[in-house]
Amino acid sequence: VEVVRTDFKFSEEEELFRKALIEFCERYIAPVWVELDEKGGGIPPELYKRCAEQGITSIIYPEEYGGMGGTFTMACIAGEVLGYYDPSIAIPVGTVVVTNGWTAILTFYGTEEAKSEILPKVAEGTGFFGIATTEPQGGSDIPGIKTRAVRKDGKWVINGEKAYISGVKEVLDLSWGGGWFLLAYTKPELLHRGQTAFAFLAKKDGEVVPGFEHTLYEDWGRCGLSCGGFTLTDAEIEDKYMIGKEGHGFYHTMEGFNLARIILSATTIGSARWALDQAKEWITTRKLFGRPISKFQNISYRFAELYAKLEAARLAVYRAAWVADQIYVEKKPGWKRTDLNVPASIAKMMGPETCHEVYEQVLKWYGAYGYTRECPVFRGHHGTWSYIIGAEGAQDVQRYIIAREVIGREYVRWE
């Protein structure tokens, strides 16, 4: 479907949602984000619960599971607002991005039993639900995963190792628990067509499941959200936790990445907007040679350039969210799920990369002060950098997807 223009204005409902979130963030997020980033150790359960009570962990799924029955546009609004108030994007990723992206896939393809068990817990803020595909040998190579699920005595027995997974400490700290959309091979001989997705709960009803052992990493950015790894040794999963059909896991993973990438990109837009607002204040008050440095045109013109690039990236993000809404929320005839591949990858390319360009420049405008820990701007730079590194899919993988879809698979794929 050709998309040239969407409605450029938020609806009244979206605008009310945005304003309520701004008030919420000014009260609960702005005062704590620096301390959380400094201290590390994950999102405190009380704060996660507060965010959930505000509705932001459960925007997409229907009210019958405790959700808001909202749209991907609303999820992006939440991502952008939270990204502005926690520019390290730890809280927005932990409460808006992974939760909404991957509960959406559970909502679309999970069993009734799994949805009724997990979704209300995420909505009330006692449970977390994220994504676990990456393994130590490489995150981009999804067909290269080694985790295996084998059928035994009416259950699935899983062995494997997942690495660089967001939310490990949150799952363990929250009172009910939670887990991840987990990808494993059920028929390795079929390559990616032999991969199956499960809702793997590492902890539920307050108990950690047998066979789960975790480790936590010491990241240098986005420290307010934990990142860890885990091994599964003969961990058992019941049939009801299979997401979609056996052998469809790879495709659901790609769909989930499309959705999470859009919401993530919205958080980087929010973070970069915060950085530009900080910069505006700085360049208009910092005086050199008897005038504010904004009078130097290398500074004000570059500001204008970054502002324009950010607006373009922002439009790309909301355009992708709008496409996601046509496909998954409105279920408009004529749209295919794969229609989201290019818009989502454009959003993921432009959001984090424009954000990176903004921070790189803004930090230079701050001079030596920007290089001190007292100036919080570096925290936004460090936190959003994780999405240049590759969280929610490496940047060049986005280029690959766009090239493959636009130039043609036969000219781009190397298999």
Ligand X SMILES: Cc1cc2nc3c(=O)[nH]c(=O)nc-3n(C[C@H](O)[C@H](O)[C@H](O)COP(=O)(O)OP(=O)(O)OC[C@H]3O[C@@H](n4cnc5c(N)ncnc54)[C@H](O)[C@@H]3O)c2cc1C
Where does this chain bind ligand X (CB under 6 A)? 130-134, 138-140, 164-166, 219, 222, 227, 386, 389-391, 393-394, 396-397, 400
What one-character-per-residue DSSP string does 236-269 give?
EE-GGGEESSTT-HHHHHHHHHHHHHHHHHHHHH
Q: Which amino acid is at 278?
A: Q
Residue 183 beta carbon to ligand X: minimum distance, rounded to whole angstroms: 8
Residue 53 beta carbon to ligand X: minimum distance, rounded to whole angstroms: 23
Cβ nearer to ligand X, comparing 129 with 282: 129
Residue 101 beta carbon to ligand X: minimum distance, rounded to whole angstroms: 10
Cβ nearer to ligand X, comparing 41 with 367: 41
Counting Cα atoms < 13 Å in the Cβ hemisphere of 298 gives 4
Cβ nearer to ligand X, comparing 131 with 327: 131
Q: Nearest CA to 139 among 161, 106, 169? A: 161
Strands (E), 251-319: 287-288, 291-292
Cβ nearer to ligand X, comparing 315 with 388: 388
Residue 334 beta carbon to ligand X: minimum distance, rounded to whole angstroms: 31
Burial 190-224 (b: 16+ CB within 10 A, else e): eebebbbbbbbbbbbeeeebebbebebeebebbbb
Coil vs helix vs strand at 195:
strand
Instruction: Please give the C-alpha separations between residue 251 and each of 247, 334, 353, in angstroms, as whole numbers.
Output: 9, 20, 26
First to last CA, the chain: 28
Cβ nearer to ligand X, comparing 179 with 270: 179
Q: How far is CA 294 from the centre of its chain?
A: 35
Residue 136 beta carbon to ligand X: minimum distance, rounded to whole angstroms: 8
Residue 132 beta carbon to ligand X: minimum distance, rounded to whole angstroms: 5
Residue 288 beta carbon to ligand X: minimum distance, rounded to whole angstroms: 37
Cβ nearer to ligand X, comparing 165 with 299: 165
What span, in angstroms and rounded, lies between the C-alpha atoms of 376 and 224? 14
Cβ nearer to ligand X, comparing 279 with 397: 397
The residue with its CB nearest to ligand X is 139
Q: Which residues pair with 229 in a beta bridge?
A: 215
Q: Nearest CA to 107 among 252, 286, 294? A: 252
Query: Rounded to a whole number, what is the largest CA-CA distance in the chain?
Result: 79
Cβ nearer to ligand X, comparing 183 with 320: 183
Coil vs helix vs strand at 164:
strand
Residue 134 beta carbon to ligand X: minimum distance, rounded to whole angstroms: 3
